[in-house]
Amino acid sequence: MTFVPALRAEWIKIRTVRSLVGGLVAVLLATTAFSALAGLDDSGGQDSDPLFSAFFGVCFGQIAAVAFGAQAVSAEFRGGALRVSLAAVPDRARWFLAKAVAVAGPVCVTGLVTGGASLAVGTSVLGARANGLSRGEELRGVVGCAVYLTLMALFAVGLAAVLRSGVATLSILVPFLLIVSFVVGGASGTVADFLPDKAGQAVLHESADGGPGPWAGLGVTALWAAAALLAGAWSVRRRDA
């Protein structure tokens, strides 16, 4: 089977599984809801970052994106599903690429919708505090939101292919995103700026604060995702189905 039919088959798997579709919906709902809540907090005063406040919900929406990527891959390792997939697409690298693209596409589209919704909801709640945002910054936030969520989902795809378990993948990534980056990362100085989530979220800030710039930060996250995908591809090719 060539790449296009393989991609179509993987897309059919994703859109026909309710839990995966629900995961995409959760990305939108969680991100916009927490962005609205963040906009209600005006304790930051003049030092607040209105752009990040409008997109603050991404910190929670990324959990749904990671779960989506992990579940899409880990399902192949249950009940012999991977053997069936590889019977149709014997080229394992081609199959894994099709799986990654099938995950990235819907997450990216959902991310664009989510970014637009978060911006609209967040700036509405912020009111006058969002007046200083330029159109360029708002567009950067929307596009950056989509790219960041996509990269985090792909990061989960690679890790799930290595671990062969959605539970194990989430057991690592969820505490990492919610605890390590915020608690341990805050105490480790500039090293934290190059963690995949901290670096990628720079695109959602109005200005860089000593770390990599907006697009350089996304580049760092892309390197993390690429490393995970390469490890996942190696695991799929070298290990038994």
Residue pair 123/38 in contact (Cβ under 8 Å)? The answer is no
For residue 56, the one-letter residue type is F
Specify the length of the chain in residues: 241
CA distances from 8 to 43, 105, 112, 148, 171 (A): 49, 12, 22, 24, 30
> How confident is the model at residue 191, as a pLDDT?
73
For the stretch 205-230, pLDDT in tens is 887 776 788 899 999 999 999 999 99
For residue 105, the one-letter residue type is G
- Maximum distance among all alpha carbons in the chain? 60
Distance CA 154, CA 70 (A): 9
For the stretch 176-190, pLDDT in tens is 888 777 666 555 557
Average pLDDT over the chain, rounded to an integer: 89
Domain that holds residue 122: 3-238
Helical segments of the chain, H only:
3-15, 18-40, 50-54, 58-74, 81-88, 92-126, 135-163, 166-175, 185-187, 196-200, 214-238
The total of structural domains in the chain comes to: 1
Distance CA 134, CA 58 (A): 20
Count Cβ atoms within 10 A of the Cβ of residue 45 and give its class: 0-12 exposed, 13-18 middle, 19 or more buried: exposed
Confidence label for 129 from pLDDT (cuts 50, 70 and 90): confident
The distance from CA 222 to its chain's CA centroid, rounded to whole angstroms, is 11
Question: Which of 48-52, 74-78, 97-101, 237-241 tops mean pLDDT?
Answer: 97-101
> How confident is the model at residue 44, as a pLDDT?
57
CA distances from 134 to 50, 112, 138 (A): 11, 18, 6
Q: Which tokens in the block code for residue 218?
A: 């996304």
CA distances from 84 to 12, 78, 95, 136, 236 (A): 15, 11, 12, 47, 14
Q: Of residues 116 and 188, which shows the higher confidence score?
A: 116
